[in-house]
Structure 1
Amino acid sequence: MTNDEIKDLILEIIEDIDDEADFDNLNPDEPLRDQLDLDSMDFLDIVMELRKRHQLQIPEEDYPQLATLNSCVNYLEPLLKNA
């Protein structure tokens, strides 16, 4: 997957979780939870959806690396490079 495809995947998952999510003013370097009003359950839903769609096992200690859209892409890129 390309970086743009990974961004689209993350945004698609967030939209599935919160169909009222507003991506218009999304800053890719700011925490997603703050910008989109995601709670801890929403965040876990994102992780579970990545597991379901792409068989990714993301260790809990790596969750902080998924804080922003750009950090998600940086973290997931090597894991999804052959997807």
Structure 2
Amino acid sequence: MFSMTFVGGCCLVSGFFLFVFKGVAAFMEKDFPLADLSLEQVLDPESLEWVENLPWEGLQIFADQVLATPLYLHCLVFGVFFLVLGGIRGR
């Protein structure tokens, strides 16, 4: 239980950290490129060729949208997921 909630808490805190710094940077009219990173920008383009080979077009569109989502949203979603999973496993 502790490991799931710990990982979830770390993901949640890092997601909030990136989101808050993005907001502060926007308020100061500065650019904070780290908050706008997506998995498409981080991963090698050759490793993303599997998306084109997915059997359904709807699944390809969903995978493209997930890969284009900013990292702070991934952190927030995974943080909530792991916190809920840790709470369920702890009972």
Asked if TM exceeds 0.5, the reply is no
Q: Which has the higher contact order (CA 8 A, sep 6+)?
A: 2
TM normalised by structure 2 equals 0.30
Q: Return the structure number with greater helix share.
A: 2
